Structure 1
Amino acid sequence: MGPRVNGPPMNEAFRELHVLLAGCGSIGKRHARILSELGVGRICACDPNPAQLEALRAAVPGVKPCSSFQAGLDGAPDAVFILTPPELHVPMACETILAGRHVFLEKPVSDTMDGVDELIELAGRSGRKAMVGLCFRYHEALRRAKRMLDQGEIGRVASIRALVGEHLPEVRPDFRTLFSAKGLGAFDLMHDLDLALWYANQPVREVHAVHGTFSDIGIEAPDLVEILLRFEDRCAATVHMDFFQRPRRRQMELIGTRGTIVVEFGRWDRYTLSVYRAGRDEWETWTAATERDDMFRAEDREFLEAIVFDRAIACTLEEGRKALEVVSAARRG
């Protein structure tokens, strides 16, 4: 089953929490707003760029500034959200855990596998909660598809096709300043790779990939990634990720031995889920409205509830490691 999403806001339970946000870019602003809506009593933030910090505080009144990450840790927060470029994730997460704090780590866990296993071991020994921001596992349509798959509605899944593409200069006019334009490139769209791994729910046996600069958008990093996966037990997946496609598209196709599920979720305000079951000779389709914040709100609530009520976390460091391991193998190949 997918991560638990439904439930009351629990605002009163979160009122005593103190959360530090390390990183005040667009994802930092989103988490700040949602944590405030959920009722977190004290939210502090730090960023080496003072303008970023002030922009976040202007967007979410009440957030307290910290002069540095270390100053934020010294303030004894209950939890830290690490929302920085990926190469900083592992060292900052280790510092957070060694300081005795719970940690939420935005995806990817890192830009390489260096230090990831040591971080997982450290978190396991510490008893602190550690969660990775695999937000699309909380998307309403994708969770519904997972339930259908787990309940055997299309038989055993044998093939998975994931596609995501967007024109980066249109989506982010400041794209040349982004780490994804200089480092991981289209690999940064690995949410869809994570979904393929989540649906397959078995170890990867082979990784094949093609990646590079194929368009004219003008970034140094790969703007196109094609990955082919073979899993251990009669299942394969293809994952397409690009930074130049118009219009923005996102689609997940699950092909089973007794049917097919297709989820189209390229727009933030709605999705379409279709299922074909053997013997019925027709597609059943649902279209529903949604909001982009819904999945972020659900994952943040799960993290806070795990802290307050000592509950298990679905999107663990081990889960985040899986996609990064595939990306590392694809980049080597």
Structure 2
Amino acid sequence: LGAALAHRPDALIVANPTALHLGVAIPAALAGCHILMEKPVSDSLEGMDELKNALRSGGGKLLVGFQFRFHPGLRKAAALLRQGAIGRPVFARAHWGEYLPAWHPWEDYRQSYTSRPELGGGVVRTLSHPFDYLRWLLGEAEVTFAQVGALGDLDIPVEDSAEINLRFAGGAIGSLHLDYLQQPPVHRLEISGTSGTLRWDNADGTLHCFRAEVGQWESHPTSEGFERNTLFLDELRHFMDVIAGRAEPVCSLEDGIRVQQLALDVLAGPYRIKAG
């Protein structure tokens, strides 16, 4: 790392295992790098003040890699919520289940950071994207109840399932399901308001909006050619704008810290469940 930083790079991408992020990010920030940091920001909140101070000293900006901030369906949902299309949001339900061994079938999932506690693994941290986009769409959140546990047959020493209840600053309540087990994978979101509903499914990316005043659904599909990799390309384009001073990070270190706190609140809860 020291040899790389000696070349005085403008920017750096931190994409090593979760628990090792800060060992790279802090020296890079002190060296003045702009940083794109893979989510979550770390496996704990230790070292966050040191990272903030390093960024302040070095003058760089940090973007956390919650790429669903760039999904056109979720961006449309944010716009419709701002417009009051479904009235006041009252309830949200996000569900993400995806069979871990199928993520990278060419490698042993049990050796991946996703499965190893010492590297920050477990489904709550690894699939933390919904914490971020729910905060983005509905405002600051707090955990009111959570159940986590290892319910499947994956033979890993971390939680593979979580059921979480949330309350949002605007008064809405919500629930979030995460798991490493579901086949086929499912990732979807529903937000109900006082005068309508939003439904989004990652399978095709389309956002559906029901407006009570007209009594019918409207659909907002993604553009032709959209694919999963489009999210990462758009994220990188935004990061280039951050480096050039043309934009502020859409997902800041403070956003990453808030997501990490929610994840830690879930994991610290007293309700752990076991298979069988």
- After TM superposition, is the score higher than 0.5? yes
Q: 2:139 aligns with which of 156, 181, 201?
A: 201
Deviation (angstroms), 1:190: 0.6
Q: Tell me which residue corresponds to 1:315.
A: 251
Deviation (angstroms), 1:271: 2.0
Residues 197-230 of structure 1: CA distance to partner in whole angstroms, max 9, x if unpaired?
111123x344321111001122221110111111
Q: Tell me which residue corresponds to 1:282.
A: 216
Distance, in Å, in 1 between the alignment partners of 2:86 and 2:206 is 18
Deviation (angstroms), 1:287: 3.8
Q: Tell me which residue corresponds to 1:212.
A: 149
Q: 2:185 aligns with which of 235, 242, 248?
A: 248
* Structure 1 unaligned regions, length at least 5: 1-68
Q: 2:130 aligns with which of 192, 207, 212?
A: 192
Go from structure 1 to structure 2 and tell me whether the alpha carbon gap of 1:208 and 1:125 turns closer, same or farther (over 3 Å shift): farther
Distance, in Å, in 1 between the alignment partners of 2:55 and 2:90 is 34
Distance, in Å, in 2 between the alignment partners of 1:280 and 1:89 is 49
Matches within 5 A, 1:148-187: 148-173=80-105, 174=107, 175-183=109-117, 184-187=121-124
Residues 132-153 of structure 1: CA distance to partner in whole angstroms, max 9, x if unpaired?
1010110111111111111111
Residues 104-150 of structure 1: CA distance to partner in whole angstroms, max 9, x if unpaired?
11100001111123323432454211111010110111111111111
Q: 2:234 aligns with which of 278, 288, 298?
A: 298
User: What amino acid does structure 1 have at the position aligned with 2:83?
Assistant: Q
* Structure 2 unaligned regions, length at least 5: 270-276
User: What amino acid does structure 2 have at the position aligned with 1:314?
Assistant: V
User: What amino acid does structure 1 have at the position aligned with 2:207?
Assistant: L
Go from structure 1 to structure 2 and tell me whether the alpha carbon gap of 1:124 and 1:257 turns closer, same or farther (over 3 Å shift): farther
Deviation (angstroms), 1:310: 4.4
Alignment pair present for 1:138 and 2:70: yes
**Cα pair 2:123 2:160 within 8 Å, conserved:** yes
Distance, in Å, in 1 between the alignment partners of 2:84 and 2:53 is 35
TM-score normalised to structure 1 length: 0.75
Deviation (angstroms), 1:252: 0.9
**Cα pair 1:132 1:317 within 8 Å, conserved:** yes
Q: SS at 1:322's partner residue? A: helix
Matches within 5 A, 1:91-106: 91-106=23-38
Residues 150-204 of structure 1: CA distance to partner in whole angstroms, max 9, x if unpaired?
11111121211110011111222221121111123111111122111111123x3
**Cα pair 1:120 1:318 within 8 Å, conserved:** no
Structure 1's consecutive aligned runs of 4 or more residues displaced over 4 angstroms after TM superposition are none
**Cα pair 2:44 2:260 within 8 Å, conserved:** yes
Identical-residue share of aligned pairs (%): 34
User: What amino acid does structure 2 have at the position aligned with 1:197?
Assistant: R
- Superposition RMSD on alpha carbons, in Å? 1.6
User: What amino acid does structure 2 have at the position aligned with 1:200?
Assistant: L
Go from structure 1 to structure 2 and tell me whether the alpha carbon gap of 1:117 and 1:258 turns closer, same or farther (over 3 Å shift): farther
Q: SS at 2:152's partner residue? A: coil
Distance, in Å, in 1 between the alignment partners of 2:75 and 2:253 is 20
**Cα pair 2:33 2:58 within 8 Å, conserved:** no
